[in-house]
Every structure is written in C-alpha cells, then in structure tokens.
C-alpha cells in the first residue's frame, strides 16, 4: 500500500497506515476553518486544502514523455473529494455503483502493484472492464486519452470502465418466515407442521 494516498478533510493527504484521531466531518463542510480571522473563512474544506494537496500530488508525480511509463495517479475519489486536487478531469459516473467500484479498484491496484496505464486497464473485477475511448491511426482500440497536461509534462488521461451486466444481490439462504411458527407461551416458538 505504499502508493495509496487518501484525501482527508482534516489531515489533508494521508498514507494507508497513518494513524488519526476519529472524527466525523465531510469535505464539503463550509465555514469550518478560519484563516486570519472570522472574515476570511474558506468556502469549504476542499478549497482550504486545494493548493497544498495539489502541490503534494504534483511533487509525487514524475514527468514522463510516455503515458504508459513513469508515475501514474488513479483517482478513485468521489467528485467532492476530487475537487481538493486542481487537476481537470471529466467522465461519466453512475452513482449507484461508484462506491463499490472505487473500493474494488483501489484494492485491485494495490494488490496487483499497478505501475502503468496498461496495468490499470487490466482491472476486471465483478464484470468491470476498460472500454475503448477511441481508435488510434492504425485502427487499434485506444484505452485512454490525454485530457490535460499539468506542470512539467504530467499528462492527465481519461479511462472509462463499464460493465454490461450488473451482478444481482448474493443469493440469500432460505430463512424461516414468521408464518411458519406458532406462538406458545408468548416467549417461545415451536415449528408448525
């Protein structure tokens, strides 16, 4: 988990094994932090952390001339937390499934030690797959496209993951219904025949 960064509304950027004090606060909370007095409250915790988190993440990225080698940053955070990083991105999101997909992706990338965009594009748990975003000049499918260049040639790419079939809920073991019981002595139940 040496490559996992967690965006946190109180602590900024955390590594996977860092200890923190428990709290309950969302990144979107407004008027929480005062800078220089009550009249200079930041809009939200995202705006408070924006510059420092963006600088921190940019310092960890290595400029590269190829999108398939060097450092990569896979953003699996929600839109709310992603707004803490000043890097443009776009894409479509199906909100019902995103929380599960983010967790699956983070776990997969950590367990597989994903180091390249090719590694990232191989994610395929629970029916997800990387969908082509276009075609290259030779007719081969293009699995990512550059959407922005940040700072010293750090490329922001877009990849699309989708699934054709949404897995249904796990099969439930048959449970005994209340109708299958007859009440006896108000606190004991015996099976009806």
Per-residue pLDDT tens, the chain, 193 aa: give them: 567 788 888 888 888 888 999 888 877 777 666 665 554 555 678 778 888 888 888 777 765 545 455 566 777 777 777 777 766 445 555 555 778 888 898 899 889 988 888 888 999 999 888 888 888 778 788 888 877 777 766 777 778 888 876 666 655 544 444 444 444 444 444 444 4
Distance (Å, whole) CA 80 – CA 53:
14
- Contacts with 4 (C-beta within 8 Å, 6 or more apart), sequence order: 15, 16, 106, 110
Q: Please give the structure tokens belonging to residue 42.
A: 């930041």
Distance (Å, whole) CA 129 – CA 122:
7
- What is the structure's pLDDT at 96? 58
- What is the structure's pLDDT at 59? 78
Nearest to 86 by CA among 36, 51, 121: 51
- What is the structure's pLDDT at 114? 86
What pTM was estimated for this model as a whole? 0.58
Distance (Å, whole) CA 99 – CA 89:
18
DSSP-derived secondary structure for 68-80: TSS------S-HH
Query: Considering just the CA atoms, what is the radius of gyration of the chain in Å?
Result: 23
Residue tagged 């590269």 (tokens): 64
Q: What pairing do the DSSP bridges indicate for beta strands 181-184 and 160-162?
A: unpaired
- What is the structure's pLDDT at 186? 41
């Amino acid at each position: 988990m040496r490559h996992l960064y967690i965006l946190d509304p109180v602590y900024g950027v955390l590594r996977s094994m860092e200890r923190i004090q428990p709290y309950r606060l969302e990144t979107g909370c407004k008027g929480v932090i005062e800078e220089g007095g009550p009249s200079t409250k930041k809009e939200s915790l995202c705006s408070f952390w924006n510059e420092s988190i963006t600088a921190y993440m940019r310092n960890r990225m290595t400029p590269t001339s190829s999108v398939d080698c060097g450092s990569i940053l896979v953003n699996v955070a929600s839109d709310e937390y992603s707004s803490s990083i000043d890097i443009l991105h776009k894409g479509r999101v199906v909100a019902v499934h995103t929380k599960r997909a983010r967790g699956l992706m983070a776990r997969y990338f950590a367990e597989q030690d994903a180091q390249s965009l090719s590694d990232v594009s191989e994610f395929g748990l629970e029916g997800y797959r990387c969908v082509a975003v276009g075609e290259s000049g030779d007719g081969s499918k293009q699995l990512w496209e550059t959407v922005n260049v940040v700072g010293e040639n750090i490329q922001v790419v877009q990849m699309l993951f989708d699934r054709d079939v949404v897995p249904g809920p796990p099969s439930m073991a048959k449970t005994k219904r209340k109708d299958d019981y007859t009440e006896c002595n108000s606190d004991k139940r015996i099976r009806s025949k």
